[in-house]
Structure 1
């Protein structure tokens, strides 16, 4: 069974989040999930195709989302090309229209509205960012300069900003353009073809500034009680947003050094270290080393550590959801991109388990290590596909935020497995 009960449903949900909602006011994702299932149930492929024939704007947009996410609609060789025109029609980009004109007049679609136009504009931007990797020499500086694909993506994203709508895909496009200097040795944002999109570049700069301000404030709060904001088990990377997110040790250890844990498992792992300081007075229990023969060449050291990883990433036994919903935890994943050094990807959750976050981080580390083996003199000489068997019932929780593919379906269900695809080297190629 696929997540949500439909083939491609997880990608459909990701796409809706990317293009339909402003990042500054995220929706209730439970409602988005329920609405997504209702749309697929109530609007099967036949009904969508009829709406497309009638030039109904909501149906044109929904059909485009289904095609881009490969969700419950038949796909043909022309499908991906057609949806770009449909999105342009709904967005009001008449020069990019795919519909027939009457006497040279701009095409008309029915039942359109301002919000739907903005969402279609964001979808149009998403499509062209995705398409950039599939054109001839996709991902190269030559393609960036000679093709209008990325230009269309940036143009649409800039229009979204100018109209007060900044969904995640807009920031994703601006973020990718910010890496062009590291990729190609030239900041394409300052080039003749892109420097006029100042609204987009300013929105991205403001976004990064707000992130830095929030992180500075968070670190100042953490500095007052650092033991309460990070799991004490060595090797565990789980951190907390608020003090009450982690479980405190119930022993008599001092409050200022009392350890906090993300799970009872981490607490048991850490006990071999913490037990020496947890009790008030151990002298009545232990009176020197038992059976110590005084041999100076023998040292009794308590250095036994259990392995830090509870489950292997491919195991199905670790819990997907947290024991209780509410306290927010997160994990920081160093960005493995060669062009985003120093960046981290922060995964925050109120519902997923610490084991789920740690397993997700392991996927990044394993896949990147595997991909790095095919680099020879900085040139892409091969592709490496890492096959990771994975329970499809857990798939919807592990959202793919790959650094170089930028949500280009690098995480996809095939033959009951999930494949992480990384292309190593200086040149990127299209995903298989």
Structure 2
């Protein structure tokens, strides 16, 4: 299941070229981390996220309220400010010095009040509670992954318990679904076991209820997507032979900027794949040639350099003033996310063979 948090990494690289941000906008690692919390723990997984707007909103939020104002809200017992102050502490943004344990303690105070902080001025709403639980789940999930091969099972259990509590409040965030997916994922040499089989995970009924519902949604989404792909397969699949990358939306892949038309117009995941496929596609890059973009063709094509010259870079029978693999000509929609589905290179899945370590605190 593609995660919107994964998309954030790809999208942030393009932000500097997108207009419409507040004056003085500057993309930093701290801001990116803050936005990841905002998107992954404070929003529903079903929200239609426009990342340029989200970054602009986060930048304005961090700069419109100083740390003194937010800390005064914490002292007054406002749960919203405890959420905000914790997010700044967790990411080292908005003038706060990074302190993840303190951030975690603040969010725990919202869900289980203690004497460490002022009492809450009023009972928190279900959304505030769900957000606080989601943020706790994110911290525990990060802490559970000691390295690529090692999982701290005690912290993973804490993450799952917090995700279950967030789901019970009715706000299903991307981090909640990520944790459910990870816990349900098969692992081991035969792939016939999962953390979900363990009693301490199996009892998290709210987490598994929303996970089953999300699986049903994904199956329906896949059926709808398959119908769309069957009508226009070239719009959703990279045309380069052997690539295998498929897009979840038409806007995902880059469309050839040549003069090929209709079903003959191929789409590519990258400039490299478009260049690789040029020998096969070149004869079709003219209007009115009825040949499928992904089908084989017996034709001795010009080398890439000579083909480039024939397309306006050195005279000849020019079809265009630019090379069809010129990235500047490929359609881009500012502010729209682009996601791709990458086939797994082997049977292993996302840490499926990770070593599970018991937390001594759970002994």
Using structure 2 for the length normalisation, give the TM-score. 0.66
Q: How does 1:156-167 map to 2 (within 5 A)?
A: 156-167=162-173
SS of corresponding position for 2:167: helix
**Cα contact 1:230–1:240 (8 A) shared by 2:** no
Q: Name the Cα RMSD after superposition.
A: 4.5
The one of 2, 5, 11 aligned to 2:33 = 11
TM-aligned CA deviation for residue 48 of structure 1? 3.0
- Larger deviation: 323-332 or 209-218? 323-332
CA distance in 2, matches of 1:281, 1:167: 48
Residue in 2 that maps onto 1:331: 340
Residue in 1 that maps onto 2:106: 86
TM-aligned CA deviation for residue 188 of structure 1? 2.7
The structure-2 alpha-carbon separation of the partners of 1:27 and 1:110, relative to structure 1 and needing over 3 Å to count, comes to farther
Gaps of 5+ in 2: 1-14, 17-24, 290-297, 306-325, 358-363
Q: How does 1:45-124 map to 2 (within 5 A)?
A: 45-75=67-97, 79-90=99-110, 92-94=111-113, 97=114, 99=116, 107-109=119-121, 112-124=124-136
CA distance in 1, matches of 2:254, 2:195: 43
Residue in 2 that maps onto 1:410: none
The one of 180, 186, 196 aligned to 1:189 = 196
Larger RCO: Structure 1 or Structure 2 (Cα < 8 Å, ≥ 6 residues apart)? 2
**Cα contact 1:229–1:242 (8 A) shared by 2:** yes
Q: How does 1:273-288 map to 2 (within 5 A)?
A: 273-276=280-283
TM-aligned CA deviation for residue 49 of structure 1? 3.3
Per-residue CA deviation, residues 237-270 of structure 1 (Å, 9 max, x unaligned), is: 464734998457535x8x55x2334599677765
Per-residue CA deviation, residues 397-431 of structure 1 (Å, 9 max, x unaligned), is: xxxxxx45xxxxxxxxxxxxxxxxxxx985489xx
The structure richer in strand per residue is 1
The one of 200, 218, 223 aligned to 1:216 = 223
The structure-2 alpha-carbon separation of the partners of 1:270 and 1:131, relative to structure 1 and needing over 3 Å to count, comes to closer
TM-aligned CA deviation for residue 304 of structure 1? 5.8
CA distance in 2, matches of 1:281, 1:194: 59
Residue in 2 that maps onto 1:302: 300
The structure-2 alpha-carbon separation of the partners of 1:327 and 1:150, relative to structure 1 and needing over 3 Å to count, comes to closer
Per-residue CA deviation, residues 345-379 of structure 1 (Å, 9 max, x unaligned), is: xxxxxxxxxxxxxxxxxxxxxxxxxxxxxxxxxxx
TM-aligned CA deviation for residue 216 of structure 1? 2.5
CA distance in 2, matches of 1:263, 1:177: 31
**Cα contact 1:153–1:173 (8 A) shared by 2:** yes
Per-residue CA deviation, residues 146-192 of structure 1 (Å, 9 max, x unaligned), is: x3x33332222112222221000101111111136438974332322
CA distance in 2, matches of 1:157, 1:83: 17
TM-aligned CA deviation for residue 20 of structure 1? 0.7
Structure of larger gyration radius: 1
CA distance in 2, matches of 1:24, 1:280: 40
Per-residue CA deviation, residues 122-152 of structure 1 (Å, 9 max, x unaligned), is: 11221221222359xx944xx42xx3x3333
CA distance in 2, matches of 1:130, 1:121: 14
CA distance in 2, matches of 1:154, 1:219: 32
The one of 167, 181, 185 aligned to 1:179 = 185
